[in-house]
């Protein structure tokens, strides 16, 4: 049994990762400051003998003894990461330094949850890992994009300078149960709006594209990446290459929820990428991984989750 630290473990992806690691028989230490995560996401594990939860902010040092580290702590939705942009950069950068310092002391393997946002508004389509990206360093998304880019730099410098075993995963838009209903991301927004019969908010003309990966597929890729030989560091794209415009996504959600909500158009946020789609050939080769869950099946699971959440009002009115 390995002792595994998951930072941001009470969040959307982190809680699914904790579940998966416990099911694999590992010992899990979940740390979170509950900025966007919630104890509700992991409360079903509280009585598990190999699960431990610690309230902690990764921008502060952490002294614990573990064998592996998954560093996921960071708000991920534009609404949340722009709420306190200085804290967002600190979380990515100071958080990476502290977790790398911890990994260095323990000689532990460490995985970074990076993002397709490191490619910015890309000129290369689909995006391959070799592409350096087109990121605005001073815009409203920069706290997240540049924070994550700097974290990647730190990971590679700890690897080169201190021979740390690192794994860098560039995650493309992922969705599924336990997304926060008020986080402003497109999948959660459209589903909640459709279920409540509210207008569906399309930003811009709705022709911008994204590729949506279901959470179970993503977690499988993450576990596989951690299991690769020491000479494989990534960065590696993990996402679903199926590409949809936001109008297409809205239509699918309306159809699957049998909702009568109407589409309304709102201004496109600043620096909103036009298109995004992963090239996953590296993941296929090195991880033997590709996504299995179709958008339709994944949306059905997510809709069922939000139906329950709304019925129980279990997220209250937090915005
Ligand atoms: P999330 O907001 O649900 O989870 C992030 C978790 O980190 C939350 O539980 C939050 O409370 C915690 N956190 C934030 N700041 C912290 C701090 N300073 N100290 C300790 N904990 C802190 O988001 P998510 O979608 O689960 O994202 C998880 C990771 O994956 C993030 O690093 C994100 O950048 C990355 N990622 C996610 C996506 C996606 O589509 N979901 C895409 C690309 C990258
Ligand atoms: N650190 C930590 N836990 C540890 C070891 C280090 O949180 O078990 C933090 C420590 O506070 C430091 C950071 O990680 O600020 C980077 O550590 P490193 O050893 O690389 O740098 P140094 O301590 O030499 O500045
Ligand atoms: N979007 C939208 N309506 C919404 C929320 C988002 O049209 O209610 C758009 C947004 O402008 C972007 C895309 O959907 O083009 C994905 O947005 P999200 O915030 O989910 O992720 P990101 O922009 O980080 O990929």
% of the chain at pLDDT higher than 70: 98
pLDDT in tens, 154-207: 999 999 999 999 999 999 999 999 999 888 999 999 999 999 999 999 999 999
pTM beyond 0.85: yes
CA–CA distances in Å: residue 240 to residues 27, 44, 130, 178, 262: 29, 29, 18, 19, 28
* 92 Cα to the center of ligand 1, angstroms: 10
Q: What was the pLDDT predicted at 318?
A: 42
Q: Which residues line ligand 3 (CB under 6 A)?
A: 77-78, 173, 184-186, 189, 201-203, 208, 210, 246, 268-269, 272
Would you place residue 312 in the very low, low, confident or very high pLDDT band (cuts 50, 70, 90)?
confident
Q: Which residues line ligand 1 (CB under 6 A)?
A: 7-8, 10-14, 32-37, 57-59, 72-76, 80, 91, 95, 113, 115, 171, 173-174
Residues 119-148 have a mean pLDDT of 95
Which ligand minimizes its atom distance to the CA of 273? Answer: 3
Would you place residue 317 in the very low, low, confident or very high pLDDT band (cuts 50, 70, 90)?
very low
Q: Whose CA is nearest to atom 9 of ligand 2?
A: 98
Q: Whose CA is nearest to atom 4 of ligand 3?
A: 186
Residues with active-site annotation: 144
pLDDT in tens, 230-275: 999 999 999 999 999 999 999 999 999 999 999 999 999 988 989 9
Query: Contact, 11 vs 42, CB < 8 A?
Result: no
For the chain, the distance separating the N- and C-terminal CA atoms, rounded to the nearest angstrom, is 39
Q: Give the list of residues 6+ apart from residue 62 with CB closer than 8 angstroms, or none.
A: 31, 56, 98, 99, 102
Would you place residue 315 in the very low, low, confident or very high pLDDT band (cuts 50, 70, 90)?
low
Which ligand minimizes its atom distance to the CA of 101? Answer: 2
């Amino acid at each position: 049994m390995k002792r595994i630290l998951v930072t941001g473990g009470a969040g959307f992806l982190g809680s699914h990762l904790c579940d998966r690691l416990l099911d694999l028989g590992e010992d899990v230490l979940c740390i979170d400051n509950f900025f966007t995560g919630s104890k509700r996401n992991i409360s079903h594990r509280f009585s598990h003998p190999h699960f431990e939860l610690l309230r902690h902010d990764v921008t502060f040092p952490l002294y614990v003894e573990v064998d592996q580290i998954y560093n996921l702590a960071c708000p991920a939705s534009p609404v949340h990461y722009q709420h306190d942009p200085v804290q967002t950069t600190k979380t990515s950068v100071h958080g990476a330094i502290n977790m790398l310092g911890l990994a260095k002391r323990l000689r532990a393997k460490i995985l970074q949850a990076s993002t397709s946002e490191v490619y910015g508004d890309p000129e290369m389509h689909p995006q391959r890992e070799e592409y350096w990206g087109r990121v605005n360093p001073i815009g409203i998304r920069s706290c997240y994009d540049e924070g994550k880019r700097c974290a990647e730099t730190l990971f590679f410098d700890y690897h080169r300078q201190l021979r740390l075993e690192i794994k860098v995963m560039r995650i493309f838009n992922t969705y599924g149960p336990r997304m926060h209903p008020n986080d402003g991301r497109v999948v959660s927004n459209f589903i909640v709006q459709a279920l409540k019969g509210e207008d569906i908010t399309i930003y811009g003309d709705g022709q911008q594209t994204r590729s949506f990966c279901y959470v179970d597929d993503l977690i499988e890729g993450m576990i596989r990446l951690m299991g690769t030989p020491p000479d494989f560091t990534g960065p590696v794209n993990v996402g679903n290459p199926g590409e949809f415009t936001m109008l297409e996504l809205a239509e699918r959600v309306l159809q699957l929820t049998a909702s009568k909500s109407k589409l309304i158009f709102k201004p496109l946020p600043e620096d909103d990428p036009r298109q995004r789609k992963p090239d996953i050939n590296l993941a296929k080769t090195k991880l033997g991984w590709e996504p299995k869950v179709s958008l339709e099946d994944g949306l059905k699971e997510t809709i069922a989750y939000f139906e329950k959440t709304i019925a129980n009002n279990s997220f209250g009115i937090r915005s």
